[in-house]
Structure 1
């Protein structure tokens, strides 16, 4: 083959090789571009991941069934259905219902509710149920609400929570702020030398003497028929008992010996709408108020009643007023003791102390503290 022909054949081979390389490069590039386009199409056409549904709030309702014994089964079911419907209408889950028992009066149920992550624990019962639920939630940062169902409803009265209108009480769950309030702690020494005394939380008042004897004398039958009037009947029975010799100490002060019918220590001071035992008591001031009642005879009881009705703040020989962070009372003879209206037996010594701002309660705003 001539040299020119060889050169031409070689050049053709080189050109062909170059064209082949270029074709391969274009093919690889096209495939890569195709893969990117297909991936882009898949990404665009793929359904967007669903946003997680927001967590709905949930309440627990700790119910004392004895307070609803007057209702038949259908009435109870209607009450529960209405309550659940109210929560659903506000975007909440159906509430968790937990019933108290004679041995577990509310604190255990409240702790169970907290373990299940609820946003508020509501007490549906009397003052004993409210107190027990408060003991379960105090210090946790989870608020307590009130759906009152008892006779006294002492805390509800002091916080202006409706105690005879379920709809109005439920409305506060969704409209009222959470308010930090104080709790009281009652330490009960039944023998006077108890190395391991009992300790109970209370919210309204703890007392020793006449008021506790009055509470202990209230019969359930009378409460069902007379309501608050049952306490009047029991009080009349206990009115003429003997005075007790006690020694009282406020904070770290000196003990003072007195003869008294009752020593009542209050975290707040209202008994009924118009009956205020301690007019200066506030549930959010970090202090306890106390009254020492020392009447003897009918005229003296009249003086006590007048001092209470007129909301006398000065005190007098029949009604001494005290204030501090703690109050201790030692008795010569065992005296009846009560807290928030529930009698708890006799004791020779009690100590009452305040724990400020330990509990959140959903209730109407409290008046500002005086400066």
Structure 2
């Protein structure tokens, strides 16, 4: 065989080999994180298997002249489907007792439904005049409650009960310990945070695009396809592992032609696998997609992912694992108050991990400081 033919043959072998190695490294990292999350979730579920006797069942009532505070708890019971009815009642009784112990009235419990995901329940809580609305569920429940509370001056507490719990991770809220999460509701100050608004134009010329609030991230393309491909059955059984399975399915696909504009700047034409816009940037404790993103800085951060194959996905994984801020040919970083994306063909769209269907155009804008969240000061990014 000639020398040139041998080099070409070696190159053909090296490309899939490098892609396989990159994918294997990524799967090892994600699997390790998933196993840690599974252990934390087991500790969290174990909290409800027996009553918590250290919380007294009765606290002397406050003087009649003192108004006691009251909370509403908007709960998504589907997140506790692995608990039997008795364990669910013990959980609610524990929360009620904790509020009584702190001198509050027993909370108003409002359950979400398959068609009402939390916003309607939060508005009912506002009408009842509560002092704080506590979202007990996953990121979808938290987002829906926030949509009703934004701009009202009534704070939101969070009792995380989902798989990802993205907002809780970004605000350093306890997401595997109910007692600690309740302590935050009782003792933490109200922190003003930004929210993002996503307009979804499905045809590219919709007269009235859909408008959705998000707290963590909104994206289109690869990450939205991953979220859309997660099966509820696998999510309940595997937790983060369901995202690994869906990600492996969506890893190989064509790039999309898109135009991207930040604020009132020029349009830039790109070929991309995904565009993700973040109000904050953490995916898990150790995986940070947007290292400079802060939830209260009045700006949005964005990344444009442009891998073409296995080796390029390795570059993307390396940029995320090393918290690269400079960007490179496969990962571009953007920053502004608004981000617009136009697509030649429809792409899947997601916000805070929930798929919302396909669209040909999306517009994202930040609304600074309009939501109060009960949280202790969280770790800040160290910008270089």
Give the conservation status (yes or no) of the 8 Å contact 2:292–2:382. Answer: no
CA-atom RMSD in angstroms: 1.2
* Residue number among 189, 192, 197 corresponding to 2:201 in the alignment: 189
TM-score normalised per structure 2 = 0.82
Please give the alpha-carbon distance, in whole angstroms, between the structure 1 residues aligned to 2:191 and 2:331: 32
Residue of structure 2 in register with 1:336 after alignment: 348
* Residue number among 297, 322, 339 corresponding to 1:327 in the alignment: 339
Please tell me whether residue 60 in structure 1 is matched to residue 72 in structure 2: yes
Please tell me whether residue 115 in structure 1 is matched to residue 127 in structure 2: yes
Distance 1:370 1:275, change over 3 A: closer
Residue of structure 1 in register with 2:31 after alignment: none
Please give the alpha-carbon distance, in whole angstroms, between the structure 2 residues aligned to 1:198 and 1:237: 28
Give the conservation status (yes or no) of the 8 Å contact 1:267–1:281. Answer: yes
Alpha-carbon shift at residue 335 of structure 1 (Å): 0.2
Please give the alpha-carbon distance, in whole angstroms, between the structure 1 residues aligned to 2:333 and 2:359: 22
- Report Cα offsets for 1:107-149 as digits up to 9, x if no partner: 0100100110100000000000000000011100000010000
Residue of structure 1 in register with 2:39 after alignment: none
Matched residue SS, 2:160: coil
List alignment gaps of at least 5 residues for structure 2: 1-62
Give the conservation status (yes or no) of the 8 Å contact 1:285–1:369. Answer: no
Residue of structure 2 in register with 1:201 after alignment: 213
Please give the alpha-carbon distance, in whole angstroms, between the structure 1 residues aligned to 2:116 and 2:378: 31
Alignment of 1:298-337 (within 5 A): 298-337=310-349
**Rg larger in 1 or in 2?**
1
Structure 1 residue ranges, 4+ long, deviating more than 2 angstroms after superposition: 366-371
- Report Cα offsets for 1:213-253 as digits up to 9, x if no partner: 00000001111111011101100100001100000000000
Residue of structure 2 in register with 1:93 after alignment: 105
Give the conservation status (yes or no) of the 8 Å contact 1:156–1:163. Answer: yes
Give the conservation status (yes or no) of the 8 Å contact 2:304–2:331. Answer: yes
Residue of structure 1 in register with 2:24 after alignment: none
Residue of structure 1 in register with 2:179 after alignment: 167
Give the conservation status (yes or no) of the 8 Å contact 1:57–1:92. Answer: yes
Alpha-carbon shift at residue 69 of structure 1 (Å): 1.0
Please give the alpha-carbon distance, in whole angstroms, between the structure 2 residues aligned to 1:148 and 1:264: 23
Residue of structure 2 in register with 1:130 after alignment: 142
Please give the alpha-carbon distance, in whole angstroms, between the structure 2 residues aligned to 1:121 and 1:74: 25
Distance 1:300 1:368, change over 3 A: closer
Residue of structure 1 in register with 2:227 after alignment: 215
Please tell me whether residue 364 in structure 1 is matched to residue 366 in structure 2: no
* Residue number among 253, 259, 263 corresponding to 2:275 in the alignment: 263
* Number of residue pairs aligned between Structure 1 and Structure 2: 321
Alpha-carbon shift at residue 367 of structure 1 (Å): 4.8
Alpha-carbon shift at residue 102 of structure 1 (Å): 1.1
Distance 1:367 1:309, change over 3 A: closer
Distance 1:341 1:58, change over 3 A: same
Residue of structure 1 in register with 2:54 after alignment: none
- Report Cα offsets for 1:95-114 as digits up to 9, x if no partner: 00000011111001001001
- Report Cα offsets for 1:270-316 as digits up to 9, x if no partner: 00010000000000000000000000110000000000000010001
List alignment gaps of at least 5 residues for structure 1: 1-50
Residue of structure 2 in register with 1:11 after alignment: none
Distance 1:214 1:114, change over 3 A: same
Please give the alpha-carbon distance, in whole angstroms, between the structure 2 residues aligned to 1:224 and 1:64: 14
Residue of structure 1 in register with 2:16 after alignment: none
Alpha-carbon shift at residue 53 of structure 1 (Å): 2.2
* Residue number among 146, 152, 169 corresponding to 2:158 in the alignment: 146
* Residue number among 350, 353, 356 corresponding to 2:362 in the alignment: 350
Please tell me whether residue 290 in structure 1 is matched to residue 302 in structure 2: yes
- Report Cα offsets for 1:50-78 as digits up to 9, x if no partner: x8521100000000111111111110110
Matched residue SS, 1:110: helix
